[in-house]
């Protein structure tokens, strides 16, 4: 069983912000896997897919970003998800806008949602897909930037990046080893 989680802030006012890249990307993953978000459980909106007889849970935490770990911890416990079958998609200020980077493990970096997940689960050894959001021209504090809306002229760039992240997560959930997913999408 696999768990794909896309981080975000739940309020409508944050819908078009940089901090919601994970939310958008898991929507793409759900579409690729033929799943619809139909239920709420474990502080998350959840979709279920079946790939080769294997259940895939796709989740969008309903908590604020800084508490994302609560939902991930509950989902992992409920569905008995092994750490090697968890993948988290989120925005990353440390990567240039529109780039994606996949890693098999790591630290939280500057991301509070990832700090929450690592803090709640005690894990660092799980896959993650980072969607780059940094704009070299933006000269505002990180907290203000991640909560600001994506500029209209950048919309397609981010839509494409989220789609690519969703495709990578779907491939992982289909049983492709994370190193192979990394080799394909980090190129």
Which residues does the annotation mark as catalytic? 19
Partners of residue 128 on adjacent β-strands: 88, 103
> Taking CA 29 as the corner, what is the angle to CA 15 and CA 101, rounded to the nearest 5 degrees?
85
Cα separations in angstroms, 16 against 8, 23, 36, 149 = 10, 10, 21, 5
What's the rounded Cα separation, in Å, for the pair 170 and 159?
16
Closest to 120 measured CA to CA, from 64, 59, 71? 71
User: Taking a C-beta distance cutoff of 8 angstroms, is the pair 18, 133 a contact?
Assistant: yes
Partners of residue 92 on adjacent β-strands: 132
């Amino acid at each position: 069983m696999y768990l794909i989680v896309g981080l975000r802030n739940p309020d409508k006012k944050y819908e078009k912000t940089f901090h919601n890249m994970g939310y958008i990307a898991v929507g793409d993953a759900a579409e690729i896997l033929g799943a619809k978000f139909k239920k709420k459980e474990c502080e998350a909106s959840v979709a279920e897919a079946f790939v080769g007889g294997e259940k895939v849970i796709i989740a969008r935490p309903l908590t604020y970003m800084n508490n994302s770990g609560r939902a991930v911890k509950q989902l992992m416990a409920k569905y008995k998800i092994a750490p090697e079958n968890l993948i988290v998609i989120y925005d990353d200020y440390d990567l240039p806008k529109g780039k994606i980077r996949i890693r098999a493990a790591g630290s939280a970096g500057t991301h509070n949602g990832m700090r929450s997940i690592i803090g709640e689960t005690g894990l660092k050894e799980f896959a993650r897909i980072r969607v780059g959001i940094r704009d070299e021209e933006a000269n505002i504090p990180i907290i203000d930037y991640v909560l600001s809306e994506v500029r209209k002229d950048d919309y397609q760039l981010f839509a494409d990046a989220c789609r690519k992240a969703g495709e990578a997560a779907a491939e992982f959930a289909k049983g492709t080893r994370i190193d192979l997913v990394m080799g394909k999408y980090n190129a």
